[in-house]
Amino acid sequence: MPVPVESWLWNRDTMNMSHINTDDPWSVTEKDLRKEMRSLREAGESAAVATVMAVEGSAYRRPGAKMLISADQHNYGAVTAGCLEDMVLDIGYDVIETNKPRTEVFDLMENNAETWGLGLGCNGVIELFVEPVDASWDYPLTTVAGVDSDPVTVLTVIDSEDSIPIGSRTVITDDTQRDVDHRHEIPDGLIDSLADDITSIHSTNQTRLSKSDGTRVLLDGLTPTANLLIFGGQRDITPVAQLANQVGFRTHVHSGRGAVDTSSVPADSISTGHPTEIAAHVGTDANTYAVIMSHNLLDDRLALETLLCETEVSYIGVMGPRERFEELRESLLEDGVQLTPTDLDRISAPIGLDLGGGEPVEIALSIVSEALAVSNDRTGGQLCEQTGYIHSRTGEIQ
């Protein structure tokens, strides 16, 4: 085995970074929004967050989508395509001033067009929950923040016929439940009555409204940000990393021998080392997706073998035509490594969706699109060929 070169790791989270560009709030990803919420909490700044609780009909964003409203009158993220943002901002400012959560229902069905004074494209009913970004957010945000982090389900009382205060909160993890700072706790009996609903959305990144004995509870499933591990060191990794960041992946680039200077690649973290060291940069296996694109057959083979043997990463995309992959496969076989059907199910070669483009950024779009589809348990087909709703319907207005 070749002698490993000296490895180094650069994690951009350790650098001082400015707040998100507020000029384009609709480009903010879930990863960005969570980071900004943590930043505002650490700075002790007041803010509010609006969450889409439920949708009836069609809407631009699905349940769970969030918009962060800062005290300096900026918003991060979006809960609609823009038609309601000013009204949501006003609600957010009121929540910041009063420090009290509130719900709001917007009926955008066609027969209410005159109410809004414009032709809106959503044609649905959207229910929002707007609340202060207070200490009750610290634990869930921290729990889902790391590379090896765990999912949580945040339970929040929205309204109640009993004496349970609005905004009462409990956080469910894989193996326990935890009350949080700054909020009333939710009674155990109420949590027990919602056990089936909690189980159905935990670890799924879904959000739903549930009701029990006259109390409505928002179940907000938060999962860790998906990791995209890119193995390569040529110029074509740059658009892949850039697009991956833009769609919300946490990106890590691992470069092997003969790599160009990767310090300017827009990744969350970067390392250099032997291809067999790639497994050290895999986060939670089930939440990591890998792209192999070094253009060096030996390095690609070593990286692929390492990922197959030392990790349980479910998606490994390999750059290059089928003939090259067959050559790589034969090279493995010569060393006594035979790819099993299970191994082949984990490999996508050639990598990417069939978008028909050949420019570097088009190739990168094809690669990132496939990884995104796999991470969302989709195949990447055309929406016009689907029947039913685009998004799952766990959140319905009750």
Q: Are residues 44 and 180 in the same domain?
A: no
Residues 237 and 207 in one domain: no
Do residues 38 and 92 both lie within one domain?
Answer: yes
Number of H helices, E strands in the chain: 11, 17
Final residue belonging to a domain, choices 82, 108, 133: 133
What is the pLDDT, as a whole number, of residue 10? 44
Q: Is residue 181 part of a domain?
A: yes
Residue 256 and residue 316 in one domain: yes
23 three-state secondary structure:
coil
End residue of a domain, out of 187, 204, 222: 222
Structural domain includes residue 139: no
Q: Which residue range(s) make up the domain with 119? A: 21-133
392 part of a folded domain: no
Both 108 and 203 in one domain: the answer is: no
Among 258, 265, 264, residue whose Cα is nearest residue 239: 265
Q: Is residue 205 part of a domain?
A: yes
Burial class (CB in 10 A: 0-12, 13-18, 19+), 314: middle
- Rounded to the nearest 5°, which phi and psi values hold at 65? -60, 145
> Which residue type sits at 341?
P
User: What is the block-wise mean pLDDT of the chain (398 residues), using blocks of 10 residues?
Assistant: 38 41 76 94 96 81 92 85 82 96 84 49 80 97 88 96 94 92 95 96 93 95 95 94 96 84 88 94 89 95 96 96 95 92 96 94 97 93 76 56
DSSP codes, 175-188: S-EEE-TTSPPPPH
Please, which residues bridge with residue 155 across strands? Answer: 170, 219
Do both 230 and 366 map to the same domain? yes
Q: Within this chain, do residues 197 and 234 fall inside the same structural domain, yes or no? A: no
Q: Are residues 199 and 123 both part of a single domain?
A: no
Q: Are residues 344 and 257 in the same domain?
A: yes
269 and 9 in contact (C-beta within 8 Å)? yes
| Same domain flag for 202 and 106 | no
C-alpha span between 398 and 393 (Å, rounded): 13
Question: Where are the alpha helices (H) located in the chain, listed in sequence order?
Answer: 30-43, 85-98, 113-116, 138-143, 188-193, 195-201, 237-246, 297-310, 322-334, 341-346, 360-375
Residue 398 lies in a domain: no
pLDDT given at position 61: 80
* CATH code (residue 362): 3.40.50.720
pLDDT of residue 55: 86
- Please check whether residues 40 and 89 belong to one and the same domain: yes
Give the pLDDT score at 1.
34
Domain count, the chain: 3
* pLDDT at site 12: 47
Q: Are 237 and 328 members of one domain?
A: yes
Nearest to 51 by CA among 39, 36, 35, 33: 33
Q: Is 352 exposed, middle or buried (0-12, 13-18, 19+ CB in 10 A)?
A: buried
Is 3 within the bounds of a domain? no
| CA distances in angstroms from 245 to 223, 239, 372, listed in the order given | 17, 10, 11
Q: Establish if 94 belongs to a structural domain.
A: yes
In a domain, 160, yes or no: yes
